[in-house]
Chain A
Amino acid sequence: MIVGEQKPITEIIEIIAPYKQLLILGCGTCVKTCFAGGEDEVATLASMIRLAFKKDSKEIKIAEQTVERQCENEFIQEAAQNIAKNDAILSLACGAGVQAIAKRFPKVPVLPGINTTFIGIQEQHGIFTEECQGCGNCGLATFGAICPITRCSKKLLNGPCGGSQNGKCEVNANIECAWQLIIDRLTQLGQLSNLRTYIPPKNWRTSISGGPRKLIREDHII
């Protein structure tokens, strides 16, 4: 999922300052799971903004709505009426959701309420970890389904560096050595011989380094 965290309230108050009537629009999928942009977070943020504005004797009207996904037109449509009634939208979706709303409603200012952080998983309740950088050419089959691009601080593709100690990375002792994890897992799977395969320098043109990416599925286009 896409992991994000809410922007500091001071920054949010600054970006919504020009507007008198605001829709806080939540997204009920990824950012809801990471407690950044679901219904609860919309309600909490709306309440905080009202309290902060009242304290400064300022007025603002806030509407609240959460759609299932802000990155899909059919769900965005559900918010169309509410969007039309407000001066601006404070979107609690990831950057893709914010831009999807902006594309759909060109005359309405759309503001980001969260910082999109990474593609990751919920390691345990309340702890999220980055697992994928969307490099566009997945090699997890070789690495025992542990991504060295994302999880090795040095992005090494042909085995560990010399800095790993007790399974921890020399860059930060709180980071697990991805290569230790890869070797442990390949050993468990009986696939340690995978390490004999030379991995050539990665072609990064399929990643964001090659410019904005686009996926076209002709079979779904009418």
Chain B
Amino acid sequence: MSDLSEIWVYLARAPLAALTATLLAWLGALRLQRALGRHPLANPVLLAVALLAGGLLLSGIDYRAYFEGAQFVHFLLGPATVALAVPLYRQWHQVRRSALVAAVSIVSGGAFAVAAGTGLALGLGAAPEVTASLAPRSVTTPVAMGIAERIGGLPSLTAAVVICSGVVGAALGPAVLDLARVRDWRARGLAMGTAAHGVGTARALSVNATAGAFSGLAMGLNALATALLLPLLWRLLAGG
């Protein structure tokens, strides 16, 4: 008995178990996605997060203890973001030709995301700090958290809704684009990256190289535009 509990204490604490569990959950999620016939809701990020979150809640393991191990995977997010320059450079002649259109679409789409989110939240009578936490949800997590802090939101709530928005966009975005009859791969990529940041870009890259390149561009530019403009507009509207 004491042996078992010793092993449990080791597994719950050492980075090895959390890292292995993360990779196993991802492989399991990919299998599940195939088994479900690649249904749009069977998004591997959603499935893997659900598996691991369920595991943590059932076993009572603290998220911080889990992250100690999983941070080795999390760390690769930095170099992977830098690596988005590679698909962008492969499509460079296409990107350069439509740079102006891309920039206008991304900034307008980013503004629409903020306006739609704020309007819906206010319409439903959400508390001001919840509304402020939801406003920057379509940009990449670290930027969104920084913006939330500046406009009176709760950065931790923002982190959660950013991830959820990314997963929703990645899972259902392609179906919505089909419904809206958006067939241009460049436009599809711009839409995914603007509304669903890196998680949407991961989905776009797995479908089409052109869409992936434009999605990575949209993620980066929308992060910059929203970070510069949202706090400014927020102060104007809240102050006036």
Whether A and B are associated in the same complex: the answer reads no
Binding site for A on B (CB under 8 A): none
